[in-house]
Structure 1
């Protein structure tokens, strides 16, 4: 997430304008994407309000939101290893580590329990990225255990927490 101070021409209700990039790398995340985006855009307190003279309506939003969806199930390993072979991995490799980057791992339970996965998650955390841990439940593949993507409410809550933590800072 990247934030920038509001422009002088913006309405007085403007506090900050955030730029949020949502990366989707798997089918389960893609299925949850409409709800996630809807809930992210409903986060209160960081509104940008301006009138549209042509449409005669108020446009309210707190963030520009962009989606990158390579649907590449091996993204965790690629990012941990520095591999840049799609738009999302290239963006992450060029990420300003002073700005928050959250990741929500999700995979089959056997994959989650593999020692390589722990190393990869540890590497991302060492970069300063924030993990929103997977949860235990019955997975689409039939496995029961850890590996399911965190609930949308949990993800949105963590995004909201980080936005408000960074909202007081005037750095871009």
Structure 2
């Protein structure tokens, strides 16, 4: 039962940086294990991953959990127990209380549209809708070049930036998984990690002064 396995998500540790990665349905989700592994190489960092159903096409939860650090991988199926009762923890609320920073990496066109429209029909978008506006949230778009060039995309990004106050980073231009070449690829995963490192002044494990 989910509410019986909540300790990893609930327990905030003093002097730690708590990072939530929201992985959505873009091929760039293959980079999620790399992002998690690199973040965990820094001292006093904890990570939780929230994955949409489509994101799990590109990585396996056990691959991420095996990296250690009490990393949880949460999916829509974890949101509600069949035996839920009033007073039990609610996953998207517990996770948003836990977070110091949220990375939507990658952010698909579909999830971007949901965010801009205020939809919360899965765990990832419910968490975002419940998130305290003071929590820094970074959005890393990743989609086909023509999807990125679609007029709705610029409108959605404007809402995400100006109304929601999220920071949009990327996309970048490169050869895409679909075979097209152009703008639409997720920011390089190492650069995503570096944003967190610089914002929270993280230090590599073993280099932290005692």
- TM surpasses 0.5: yes
1:32-71 matches, within 5 Å, as 32-43=31-42, 47=43, 62-70=44-52, 71=54
- Deviation by residue 1:40-63 (Cα, 9 ceiling, x = unmatched): 1123xxx3xxxxxxxxxxxxxx12
For 2:122 and 2:131, locate their aligned partners in 1 and report how far apart those are by CA, in whole Å. 14
Which of the two has higher C-alpha Rg? 1
- Deviation by residue 1:9-29 (Cα, 9 ceiling, x = unmatched): xxxxxxx21221101002423
- Deviation by residue 1:101-153 (Cα, 9 ceiling, x = unmatched): 11110000000011110111111111111112111011111111000111011
Residue in structure 2 matched with residue 154 of structure 1 by the alignment: 191
Residue in structure 1 matched with residue 77 of structure 2 by the alignment: none
Residue in structure 2 matched with residue 78 of structure 1 by the alignment: 114
- Deviation by residue 1:58-101 (Cα, 9 ceiling, x = unmatched): xxxx1221111013641110011100000000000001111101
For 1:18 and 1:135, locate their aligned partners in 2 and report how far apart those are by CA, in whole Å. 27
Q: Is 1:98–2:134 an aligned residue pair?
A: yes
For 1:147 and 1:5, locate their aligned partners in 2 and report how far apart those are by CA, in whole Å. 36
Q: How has the CA–CA distance of structure 1 residues 157 and 18 changed in structure 2, closer, same or farther, with 3 Å as cutoff?
A: same
For normalisation by structure 1, the TM-score amounts to 0.73
Q: Give the 4+ runs in structure 1 shifted more than 6 A.
A: none
What 5-or-longer segments of structure 2 have no aligned partner? Answer: 1-11, 56-107, 203-210
Residue in structure 2 matched with residue 24 of structure 1 by the alignment: 23
Cα RMSD over matched residues?
Answer: 1.8
For 2:47 and 2:126, locate their aligned partners in 1 and report how far apart those are by CA, in whole Å. 18
Deviation at 1:5, TM superposition (A): 7.4
Q: What secondary structure sits across from 1:104 in the alignment?
A: strand
Decide which structure has greater helix share.
Answer: 2
Query: Larger deviation: 135-144 or 28-37?
Result: 28-37
For 2:171 and 2:38, locate their aligned partners in 1 and report how far apart those are by CA, in whole Å. 19
What 5-or-longer segments of structure 1 have no aligned partner? Answer: 7-15, 48-61, 166-172
